Chain A
């Protein structure tokens, strides 16, 4: 029964959510909307699990003085401060800048932007490796990428006025055809695995017996 009940719940709600796509009636749409609201509530509760996981793992490392235990203390303190400032001081009645917003906007957002900014350097290093002309395919990649890169900046038009058109053609036809092929295959694969989950053919995601 430990497996049959979750499988039955998956099947009932899975079939219903597929069916609601084809049934515009208010009765079905109303139930579907409520089910989606339930999902949001359940996911919100999962944050408690997440926080519990963080506290359990990091407090364990601190207690046994594991590797980098000092950083774990900083992390747990940051977690508690952010959480408490959000719960207790998050809403300022005067609508001035609350402490939570201050920490979020002035500390977290710049750090997140820093991580994102690293992407530019990672793209350069990955491109450098990928463009090494060792095989025919790599040469093709190198030539195409060079045309697209130059064609997308004003220098391209300066070198040859038709270069931006060639770039657009590469992006709109060969590139788009490849992308759509992958997308169609992946979408059908997704439907297939969804069907297997709903019908109980694929049940390993339920874990142990």
Chain B
């Protein structure tokens, strides 16, 4: 706990450094660097008007159209793009005129994103508040999630049958939050498997996930008091290619016949190929993903499916750690507040009042 307190102080220190050190740097910046270049819709409109009045050639406006909305952070790159788009039509005079028109001063804070910023701060505040509150009241209620309860059931089945458990952490890299959530679940799964003394096979697509998954499985077995049961050869890098990976996972399902398949993470077109092979192999299957386009496939092919955000709730649900359960409660309350705002927005729009939707509109 002492370490956690020290860590929070460090975070505070970083934040203070960030906001105290960067503004003076901003003040001393090199003149001319704090601009961006963008041909906005308004600029295009005024160019069109000029073309209609015959001030500039019409084909120049047509050639500029593909550049509308593109942002350039330095003048040289913008000029090169202009020359590339307009070629011989572009005289030095027009070029300078366009550069001057498109030059926009870059502010220290992007005010067009203020809505997101306020929502983000409020959301973070709620998560942190409930997380802090959970420390004083550790008996927080968390609703039953059948898919997560089924994981223990599936592992028990494997132990009874003397067969391994297959854990597929999706096909995305560690930069996808679903893969991080999946790794956290993997640790809990490995702990339960260690307690039941079963085998766990983890096929992996992105190589970057291999050491993380190895560490998770090792820690899970260690927490279960069975470090000797950890088999490094069961955390396998298959292939970085999507369908080569799917073929590899299918091969494991058909050759090694795991009695339970846990498909938790970010899945794409390979989801049904893997899940249906699991059905053919006769395994009990628990799947979960936040990729809504793959959920129907999992619902059709698996015994239990974690839908959307349930995959993110898994670590709190399985570990029952008060701080994590509290943060889960915080994010749920934030969802309630946002749902109320959305309903309010629908009612106000129906009656022709637009201020709420306009406030949420990101320019």
Residue positions of A touching B, CB distance < 8 A: 3-4, 7-8, 11-12, 15-16, 18-19, 21-29, 39, 42-43, 46-51, 53-54, 56-57, 60, 67-68, 108, 111-112, 115-116, 118-119, 122-123, 125-127, 129-130, 179, 182-186, 188-197, 199-202, 204-208
**Interface assignment of B94: CB less than 8 Å from any CB of chain A:** no
1/0 contact trace for B96-130 toward A, CB 8 Å? Answer: 00000000001111100100110010011001100
Q: Are A204 and B319 in contact (CB under 8 A)?
A: yes
Q: Are A25 and B26 in contact (CB under 8 A)?
A: yes
Residue positions of B touching A, CB distance < 8 A: 3-4, 6-8, 10-11, 14-15, 18, 22, 25-26, 29, 33-34, 36, 73, 106-110, 113, 116-117, 120, 123-124, 127-128, 131, 173, 175, 177-178, 180-181, 183-184, 187, 206-208, 210-212, 215-216, 218-219, 222, 233, 235-237, 240-244, 246-247, 255, 269, 272-273, 275-276, 279, 290, 292-293, 295, 297, 299-301, 307-309, 311-313, 315, 319, 323-324, 327-328, 330-331, 334-335, 338
A115 touches which of B173, B180, B236, B247 (Cβ 8 Å): B247
19 intermolecular pairs with C-beta atoms under 8 Å apart: A24-B36, A25-B106, A26-B73, A26-B106, A53-B237, A115-B273, A129-B300, A130-B300, A186-B309, A189-B309, A189-B312, A189-B331, A191-B123, A192-B123, A195-B124, A199-B8, A204-B216, A207-B212, A207-B219
Q: Are B243 and A3 in contact (CB under 8 A)?
A: no
Known: A11-B10, A19-B18, A112-B241. A119 touches B273 (CB 8 A): yes
Q: Are A27 and B7 in contact (CB under 8 A)?
A: no
User: For the complex, what is the distance from the CA of A189 to the CA of B335, rounded to whole Å?
Assistant: 9
A24 touches which of B107, B206, B240 (Cβ 8 Å): B107
Dominant secondary structure of chain A at its interface with chain B: helix
Known: A24-B36, A25-B34, A200-B7. A185 touches B26 (CB 8 A): no
Nearest residue, chain A, Cβ from B175? A39
Q: Are B276 and A122 in contact (CB under 8 A)?
A: yes
- Which chain A positions have C-beta within 8 A of B307? 182
Nearest residue, chain A, Cβ from B233? A57
User: For the complex, what is the distance from the CA of A62 to the CA of B276, rounded to whole Å?
Assistant: 30
User: For the complex, what is the distance from the CA of A42 to the CA of B8, rounded to whole Å?
Assistant: 27
Dominant secondary structure of chain B at its interface with chain A: helix
What's the nearest-Cβ distance from chain B to residue A37, in Å? 14
What's the nearest-Cβ distance from chain A to residue B352, in Å? 22
Known: A50-B237, A56-B233, A186-B309. A197 touches B180 (CB 8 A): yes
